[in-house]
Amino acid sequence: MTHLPAHLNHIAWNRKILNVFWVIVFVSVCVEVINSFITERPLMEFYLEYILLPTLLLSLTTLIAEWGYRKRGKYTDYIIIGSASLISGILVGVHSEMYVMNACLFFPMLISTIYFEKKKVWVSFGFSLTIYLGLTTFHPIVRELNDIMAQLSMTCILLTASAICIGIMSRGYEIAQYLIKTQAEHQELMVKSTIMEKQVKTDALTGLYNHMAFYEYMEVLLLQADTYHYPVHLAIIDIDNFKNVNDTYGHGIGDIVLKRITAAIKENTSNDDFVARYGGEEFVVILNDVNEENAFQTLDKIRTVVQNIEHPEIKEESVTISVGLQTYRTGMHKQAFFEGADNSLYVAKRQGKNRVIIQECNQAIEI
């Protein structure tokens, strides 16, 4: 059987197992103290045989396990399994007249199951069987209560218990593998979903967001602007006479020009700004958390950069852009916000193109 992936935290689980060991020591003392009030045996003898000596042996065994845990060597797990076997042997030996205490011999195998390693289960089986055979050989009361048939029966029971533990581990491994596979499929689906969502909201030619993403972002942004009162500006950018470029040189050359202008816009806006291709030769830019003057300067810089781009494929001296800018006012409807920028763009076109116009009080003025 293959080991489970190493996400099982052995150190944490070993600490929990050691805590269980100390709980066993505590419970054993409490139970025997209670029994001391009802036992008919002499108290000194009872304290010695059922409290002092067992507590000393249990504590010593647990301290050995603690030492192995702190050493954290490659045999730490085996030291803890061996300590569990000794604890079970001590409990069986002390309460030898109670046949039901033989159930303690299953304790090491339960411990070994936590590690999800077949080898450790068989090691725990060997420890438990050795402890049991040792008790039936050297402990007078246990030897008297367990004849050869009882020993064979217990051996078969321990062997069956080991097989069941291995079966549980195998099933646990299958479930873990299924969960890992399911998680991987889920992550793959999430990646595909993210890619598809990005494709739906991204313009294929320029790599910018498209108009669908623009409207979604603007709605959320304006809500935040109303709540936190920070400045927001919308610019609509249109390439001047771009139809002539497409008609004269073809759409392939037009696409090259679009990509160059896209790069100029992206390089001159910040990561806080939102840039999208609205459609055809139109772009939209949302500038966040800057004042109106700085927003205008950013757009005018973009205009200048675009004007200075060289296009070897076309004969025109340069390709220019016109920009309409609108500043958001608290409570302004998103449609009015967009129309303000659109009206500014219209004025920029009417006044001769290649300029930035800002809308103010329903009148477009050039700064």
Same structural domain for residues 231 and 162? no
CA 323 to chain CA centroid, nearest Å = 44
CB 59 within 8 A of CB 25: yes
State the pLDDT at residue 362.
42
Using a pLDDT cut of 70, give the percent of the chain over it: 93
DSSP state, residue 102: G
pLDDT confidence bin for 37, thresholds 50/70/90: confident
Read off the pLDDT of each residue in 229-248 and give the average, rounded to a whole number. Answer: 93
Residue-level pLDDT at 171: 87
The closest alpha carbon to 323, from 264, 266, 247, 240, belongs to 240
164 plus 228 within the same structural domain? no
Are 231 and 357 members of one domain?
yes
Tokens representing 267? 């390089």
Q: Residue 7 pLDDT > 70, yes or no?
A: no
Given a cut of 60, is residue 278 above it in pLDDT?
yes
pLDDT band at 5 (very low <50, low <70, confident <90, very high): very low
**38 and 170 in one domain?**
yes
Q: What is the pLDDT of residue 340?
A: 94
Residue 189: pLDDT over 90: no
| 188: in domain | no
Query: For the chain, how many structural domains are there in total?
Result: 2
Q: How far, in Å, are 96, 127, 136, 145, 332 from residue 73 at the CA level? A: 35, 20, 33, 40, 69
Residues 76 and 14 in one domain: yes
Identity at 52, one-letter amino acid code: L
Q: What is the pLDDT of residue 71?
A: 85
Task: Identify whether the C-beta of residue 18 lies closer than 8 Å to the C-beta of residue 65.
Answer: yes
* Tens-place pLDDT, residues 43-63: 888 888 888 999 999 999 999
pLDDT at position 195 is 66
What is the average pLDDT across 267-276? 93
Segments forming the whole domain that contains residue 317: 211-366
pTM of this prediction?
0.53
- Residue 74 amino acid letter: K
* Pairing, β 356-360 against β 274-279: unpaired
Percent of the chain with pLDDT over 90: 55
CA nearest neighbour of 309 among 247, 361, 245, 363: 245
| Residue 342, burial from CB neighbour count under 10 angstroms (0-12, 13-18, 19+) | middle
